[in-house]
Amino acid sequence: MESFKFFGIISLVCLFALALPLTSAEPDSTTTTEAKNLWEDIKNMRVTEIKRSALACPLPLVGSSCSEETPLYYFACCGELNASCCFRLQDWVIALLGILTILVVLSIVINCIRCMCGC
């Protein structure tokens, strides 16, 4: 029983050690801009739509052709002058991965608390 409490305490310490660098005392302008952009991306997600791949980047007649989309991923133009095709996950996949990550972290925290309480 003592080993469970020990591993529970160790896992909580590791969890806080991983979360500590993510918080900063002074947010700089790039961090706040990135956070705003991330929040805008989350608000603009359309999990019920399958996005289509670009035909070619930067233009269909001049650029390189992109692969076709699937229900899991698509290709979008990116890079310098939008000259290359970049792999992107569909919005529903990103939402599902986010929900699964939150559930896994919650289950780890709850089980660590249960181990420390002896429940």
Residue spans per domain, the chain: 2-17+50-117
Helix (H/G/I), strand (E/B), else coil: 118: coil
The confidence score (pLDDT) of residue 35 equals 77
Cβ contact 75:69 at 8 Å:
yes
Nearest to 109 by CA among 13, 21, 24, 22: 13
Say which residue, 99 or 37, is predicted with more confidence: 99
pTM: 0.65
Q: What is the mean pLDDT of the chain?
A: 81
Confidence of residue 16 (pLDDT cuts 50, 70, 90): low
Over the range 20-38, which residues count as b (16 or more CB within 10 Å of their CB) and which as e?
Answer: eeeeeeeeeeeeeeeeeee
Confidence of residue 20 (pLDDT cuts 50, 70, 90): very low
User: What does the pLDDT look like over 62-100, one tens digit per residue?
Assistant: 888 999 999 999 999 998 889 999 999 999 999 999 999
Among 2-6, 13-17, 106-110, top mean pLDDT goes to 106-110
Q: CB within 8 A of 90, min separation 6: which ones? A: 50, 51, 69, 71, 72, 73, 74
User: What does the pLDDT look like over 25-36, one tens digit per residue?
Assistant: 455 566 678 778
Cβ contact 94:44 at 8 Å:
no
